[in-house]
A and B are shown apart, each in its own frame.
Chain A
Amino acid sequence: MLPAWLAQVLQVLTVALGAPLVSGVIAKIEARLQGRRGPRVLQPYYDLAKLFRKETLMPEESSWVFLAAPVVAFTCYLIVPLLIPELTNFGLPLSYTADILGGAFILALAGFSVSLAAAETGAPYAQLGSSRAMTFGALIEPSILFITFVVGIVTSTDLPFVEAAAARSSLSQAILPAHLLAAIAFFLVVISDTGRIPVETHASTTELGMIDEGRTLEWSGPPFALLKWGSNMKQVILYVILLDVFAAPWGLAGSLAAGSVLLAIPILLGKAVGVGAVLTLSDNTFSKLRLFKLTEFMAAAFLLAVLAILTLYVGYA
């Protein structure tokens, strides 16, 4: 039996230490799909280690906000894993300190602090990225809100653990249309928030197509490493919410037995790589939408989330 605090620490460590690995494996899969050999799967760790050894340069105009933002964002990404079903299918002591909206707020705070600092640098591309990130973040927000409502109506709570438990409880709950529609809507939200193809070409070098990526252009050295690491962690966190709350809440430890909690770690990372592989496939299948057509994508996510609510409303209200 593990003590509960240790499981809690393991949750954070799994995301923090596993996130670069997940990114590395996904990058490898993507390269293979495109017929390239691709970087080593451990490359993200080497990148981070290199960046941590470099010096920090600041734009002349910027203030302490510029240096604080990466730390704030990174801290937020360390907090969120405490709140979501990640290794265990029941809540650990700190898991109930914030509900699903609280988690969304903390994620939003991370995005906001980076956008704020990017806008402060005065660099044109960073400002472009930060204004776009805020605009499209606001457009995808209604979908997130409605997905939260689905959780609220299905479980009559606002806890991600209960939604996952409802989906696990029986087949008919798992294929409840509201649940499926919300899962697909959340999948679209993940695509938008991790900068995947219909929305943004991730890891591209054309600044004019950038949204999230564009914001980080001004940072260097350790703060940039924190940002990169943070965005890896954000990706895993969103995958975990998609998987363990909506799409596949299976393979979690049912008790604090050391074996099952430790087994849940590779299962979690494996599932995350699985989602990444699906996203990579869709990356290679679809083309990027024009920036002004992105509203269509956001409208689709919103449509799914609203339909989820409607099917619930008529049936059980």
Chain B
Amino acid sequence: MHPTPDPGTFSGITEGLAALILLTEFAMLRSAMLRSQVRLYSFQSLVVAALASAVAAARGIPDLFILAGLTLVLKVILIPGIIFRVMRGSKVDLAGSHRLNVATMIFIGISVSVFGFLAVEGLDIHSATLPTPALGTAVAVVLVSFVVIILRGDVVSQAVGFFSLENGVSVASLVVAAGLPFIVEVAFLVDLLVAVVVFGVLMRVHHMKADTLSTDVLDRLKG
């Protein structure tokens, strides 16, 4: 019997969390309800926070605990809350804004993830904090979130796609630069807040003008 070399419990758990983040991204590709889209984002951020604290505990980087805490407050509670608040005025909940059928979208997602994993494999990066597959997963999350933004035709999904892209980037930064100066990490989060405000205004204005959250009406001229 030749099992693969024992990868260790830590790497098993962290890779599992990373895979869960990627699976949530795929769920965003599928989910039809706008509200569940936001809940998925909240859950994904929760997993990111869990991953950050796992790294902090196992590798002794206390900064990351603060980052995990900020992630928890901002991305799990505050940002979904803001989006819910913005959406409260609009009655439309069922998005149904898939530009292709779901299975096809999943296959496109799988293809870009394979590309992401193979690209990382080619880079030959070895990190001291997290196993390399986590980086592949992070790149796959970023790529799939592009697919979400491109193939979903409603403002909420596109905003959530953009926010989850940031989640992918933070996982990648955990792998390659867990010792990143704390101020830079916080700057990312502030950036995200700005994006949330921008997207919030965008959703409100779009809903006011077009009376829908779908982007399909944007190509119609208004006199």
Contact = CB atoms under 8 A, between A and B. Distances in A.
Interface of A: 153-157, 162, 165-166, 169-173, 175-177, 180-181, 293, 295-296, 298-300, 302-304, 306-307, 310-317
Interface string B131-168: 11101110010000000000000000000000000000
B9 A175 contact: yes
28 contacts: A154-B3, A154-B4, A156-B2, A157-B1, A162-B1, A165-B1, A171-B9, A172-B11, A175-B16, A177-B16, A177-B18, A181-B19, A296-B102, A296-B103, A296-B106, A302-B106, A303-B110, A306-B113, A306-B114, A307-B19, A307-B113, A311-B133, A312-B4, A313-B121, A314-B117, A314-B135, A315-B131, A315-B132
B13 interface: yes
A97 to B, nearest CB: 19
Contacts of B110: 302-303, 306
Given A154-B3, A177-B18, A317-B121, 13 more contacts: A157-B2, A162-B3, A166-B4, A175-B16, A302-B110, A306-B113, A306-B114, A310-B113, A311-B137, A313-B118, A314-B120, A314-B121, A315-B15
A227 B107 CA distance: 36
Contacts of A165: 1, 3
B117 A166 contact: no
Contacts of A176: 7, 12, 15
Given A313-B121, A314-B132, A175 B4 contact: no
Contacts, number: 104
Nearest to A179: B12
Tell me the dominant secondary structure on chain B's binding face: helix
A299 B121 contact: no
A304 B110 CA distance: 10
Given A171-B9, A176-B7, A296-B102, A307 B136 contact: no
Nearest to A173: B3
Given A175-B9, A306-B114, A299 B102 contact: yes
B3 A177 contact: no
A315 B7 contact: yes
Interface residues of B, number: 40
Query: Top 8 closest A-B pairs, CB basis?
Result: A295-B103, A166-B3, A299-B106, A299-B103, A175-B12, A314-B136, A177-B15, A172-B9
A155 B135 CA distance: 24
B23 interface: yes
Contacts of B3: 154-155, 162, 165-166, 169, 173
A230 to B, nearest CB: 31
Contacts of B5: 316
A60 B67 CA distance: 74
Nearest to B135: A314
B219 interface: no
B1 A310 contact: no
A212 to B, nearest CB: 21
B117 A313 contact: yes
Interface string B189-212: 000000000000000000000000
A44 B9 CA distance: 44
Contact of A177 (B12, B103, B113, B140): B12
